[in-house]
């Protein structure tokens, strides 16, 4: 979970926290930081491919499948109350479609489907059924807006799953499509295991269902074997064969789900299947947050115009609690480390202009950026920023000397936020006191010895001696300078 916001100026323009959004959990050594400005202008990459008329990177729809694919996640058990909460949260976020488990799967699935259809959500409600007329009839009666029909087309599934040949698949698909259309419902026909299916078989059946008026055809990377280049080539080829929309469903077994979804849109796909946190069968599918991270970089204005991005963490927390998992530290956007900066050179640039080391503006998602300054990697700019938050004013030379002491202590032991704050406060106090207090109370004898050795080592460096002299010369209290100089000697 992302760390909380503390001691942060209230200002909503720079990506730092300005309320409760985007804050959940705690971690020592982190604070939301104030940056000078945060344009995050949508500059185009010099290596970005030239768009063409087939690309839908700036014109796509999300079919959110947490209540269908997500139910296949190993930890998932959604009762009706949970399903309604998820459906409402997804609708509030702004997804275009919500896909539900087949009502033919169980009696409770049918009742759940009917109940969600009656909620009056803005998103269209779909259900995912086998390419079977009886399943389609059950689904139509629930009141859904559309059906997602699927059947395996690879040799693996035709031989070892349903046992049907391509002629049977084509005839059954046309029968189901014509029935669903006669009931005034949307319909998508999808092959399963598309990327291990014969290309001629795929194009033949897609062409046939396109001619009878299917709304969408679907490409499914059921086992997660496809690469972005394979996806682009197949979607591009399919785009030349059908005139209907193209939906895509990518499993994440080999870590390519987000990249594959993006390449599919570049090639002409129109709809992307997602689930919250990517949950689903095995390693799941394209995560909703991951897709948003990719697409806001591609076309920020389009994404912001359609989706309430500040609701992302809310829906992810909801689903994470329901399936009893923690949000990963490196999760897209909402992970603990998503907008956390630790290295000194990074912190300095971030404080001056966050665009230097951030491609995504955390404020777009109601999140905050953080700087980790309680470590040996910290830089004096980060310490200066923290001192400003604490209301302590020093010269640059003094900030640098204080930083050197923090780094020396961090070489002795792991230090936390409170330790760092204590050092900063005590260092500042020593500038105004005739008696120099220990920078940090509670050190063991061994730690104290190591710290003193680190101090002596730093004192032997010419640059450090010069820094001490400059800091002393700039101290506000002359008496303190003498005491400190003697202590260093």
Residue 20 has pLDDT above 80, yes or no: no
- Domain closes at, from 323, 343, 362: 323
- Whole-model pTM: value is 0.77
Pair 156, 258 in one domain: yes
Domain shared by 69 and 207, yes or no? yes
Residue 356 lies in a domain: no
Residue 17 binned pLDDT confidence (cut-offs 50, 70, 90): very low
Categorize the per-residue pLDDT at 55 as very low, low, confident or very high, splitting at 50, 70 and 90.
Answer: very high
Q: Are residues 195 and 121 in the same domain?
A: yes
Mean pLDDT of 172-181: 97
Domain-located, residue 217: yes
Q: Does 390 map to a domain?
A: yes
The β-bridge partners of 148 are: 128, 188
Which residue has tokens 């559309």? 146
For the stretch 294-328, pLDDT in tens is 999 999 999 999 999 999 999 999 999 999 999 99
- Let me know if residue 331 belongs to a domain: no
* Residue 342 belongs to some domain of the structure: no
Residue 344: pLDDT over 70: no
368 is a domain residue: no
Same domain, 316 and 392: no
Give the model's pLDDT for residue 429. Answer: 78
Q: How far apart are CA 158 and CA 312, in angstroms?
A: 39
Please say if 372 is a catalytic residue. Answer: no
Residue 122: pLDDT band (50, 70, 90) is very high
Domain of 147: which CATH number? 3.20.20.70
Looking at the structure, tell me whether residues 205 and 302 fall in a common domain: yes
Q: Which residues contact 87 (CB under 8 A, 6 or more apart)?
A: 67, 98, 116, 119, 121, 123
**Which of the listed residues 255, 288, 323 is the one where a domain comes to its end?**
323
Domain count along the chain: 2
Helix (H) / strand (E) containing 186:
strand 186-192
172 shares a domain with 293:
yes
Query: Which position among 251, 346, 372, 428 bears the catalytic label?
Result: 346
In 3D space, the residue among 159, 426, 126 whose CA is nearest the CA of residue 247 turns out to be 126
SS3 helix, strand, coil % of the chain, rounded to 5?
50, 10, 40
* Per-residue confidence (pLDDT) for residue 14, from 0 to 100: 33
Q: Pick the last residue of a domain from 323, 338, 359.
A: 323
311 shares a domain with 432: no
pLDDT digits (tens, 9 = 90+) for 80-111: 999 999 999 999 999 999 999 999 999 999 99
Lowest mean pLDDT among 220-224, 230-234, 397-401: 397-401
Q: Which of 120-124, 290-294, 411-415, 473-477 has the lowest mean pLDDT?
A: 473-477
Q: Average pLDDT, stretch 194-208? A: 96
Q: For residue 20, give the DSSP letter.
A: S
Do the beta carbons of residue 23 and residue 389 sit within 8 Å?
A: no
Q: Is the pLDDT of residue 336 over 80?
A: no
Same domain, 316 and 389: no
The answer to whether position 50 is within a domain reads: no
Could you tell me which residue, 28 or 392, shows the higher pLDDT?
Answer: 392
Nearest CA to 128 among 108, 111, 107, 113? 113
Same domain assignment for residues 278 and 196? yes
Q: Is residue 337 part of a domain?
A: no
In a shared domain, residues 401 and 272: no
CA 7, CA 187: separation in Å to the nearest integer? 53
pLDDT of residue 474: 59
Q: Are residues 173 and 318 in the same domain?
A: yes
What span, in angstroms and rounded, lies between the C-alpha atoms of 132 and 453?
Answer: 77
Highest-confidence range of 60-74, 382-396, 467-481, by mean pLDDT? 60-74
419 and 276 in a single domain? The answer is no
- 76, 334 Cβ separation under 8 angstroms: no
Q: What gap in Å lies between CA 319 and CA 118, rounded to an integer?
A: 22
Range of the domain at 273: 61-323
Q: Cβ distance 97 to 307 under 8 Å?
A: no
pLDDT tens per residue across span 128-163: 999 999 999 999 999 999 999 999 898 888 888 887
Residue 471: phi and psi, rounded to 5, are -65, -40
Backbone conformation region of residue 289, classed left if phi is above 0, alpha if psi is from -120 to 50, else beta: alpha
């Amino acid at each position: 979970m992302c760390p909380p916001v503390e001691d942060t100026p209230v200002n909503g323009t720079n990506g730092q926290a300005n309320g409760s959004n985007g804050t959940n959990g705690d971690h020592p050594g982190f604070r939301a930081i104030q940056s000078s400005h945060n344009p995050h202008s949508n500059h185009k990459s010099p290596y970005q491919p030239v768009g063409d008329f087939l690309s839908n990177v700036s014109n796509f729809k999300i079919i959110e499948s947490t209540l269908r694919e997500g139910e296949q996640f190993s930890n998932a058990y959604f009762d009706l109350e949970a399903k309604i909460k998820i459906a409402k949260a997804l609708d509030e976020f702004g997804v275009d479609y919500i896909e539900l488990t087949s009502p033919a799967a169980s009696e409770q699935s049918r009742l759940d489907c009917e109940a969600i259809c009656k909620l009056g959500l803005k998103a269209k409600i779909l259900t995912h059924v086998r390419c079977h007329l009886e399943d389609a009839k059950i689904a139509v009666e629930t009141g859904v807006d559309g059906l997602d029909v699927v059947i395996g087309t690879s040799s693996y599934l035709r031989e070892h799953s349903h046992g049907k040949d391509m002629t049977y698949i084509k005839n059954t698909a046309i029968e189901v499509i014509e029935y669903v259309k006669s009931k005034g419902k949307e319909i998508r026909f999808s092959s399963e295991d598309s990327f291990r299916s014969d290309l001629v078989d795929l194009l033949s059946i897609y062409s046939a269902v396109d001619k009878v008026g299917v709304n969408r055809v679907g490409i499914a990377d059921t086992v997660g074997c496809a690469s972005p280049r394979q996806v682009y080539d197949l979607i591009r080829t399919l785009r030349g064969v059908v005139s209907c929309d193209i939906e895509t469903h990518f499993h994440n077994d080999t870590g390519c789900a987000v990249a594959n979804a993006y390449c599919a849109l570049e090639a002409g796909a129109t709809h992307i299947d997602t689930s919250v946190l990517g949950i689903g069968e095995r390693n799941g599918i394209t995560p909703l947050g991951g897709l948003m991270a990719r697409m806001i970089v591609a076309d920020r204005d389009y994404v912001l115009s359609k989706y309430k991005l500040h609701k992302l963490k809310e829906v992810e927390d909801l689903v994470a609690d329901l399936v009893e998992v923690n949000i990963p530290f490196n999760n897209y956007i909402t992970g603990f480390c998503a907008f956390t900066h630790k290295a000194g050179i990074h912190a300095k640039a971030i404080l001056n202009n966050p665009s230097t080391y951030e491609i995504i503006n955390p404020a777009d998602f109601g999140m905050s950026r953080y700087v980790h300054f309680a470590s040996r990697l910290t830089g004096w700019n980060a310490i200066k920023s923290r001192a400003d938050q604490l209301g302590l004013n020093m010269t640059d030379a003094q900030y640098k000397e204080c930083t050197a002491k923090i780094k020396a202590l961090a070489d002795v032991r792991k230090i936390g936020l409170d330790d760092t704050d204590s050092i900063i406060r005590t260092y500042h106090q020593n500038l105004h006191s005739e008696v120099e207090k220990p920078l940090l109370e509670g050190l063991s004898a061994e730690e104290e010895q190591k710290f003193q050795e680190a101090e002596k080592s730093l004192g032997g460096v010419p640059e450090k001696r010069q820094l001490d002299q400059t800091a002393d010369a700039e101290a506000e209290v002359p008496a303190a300078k003498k005491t400190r100089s003697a202590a260093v000697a």
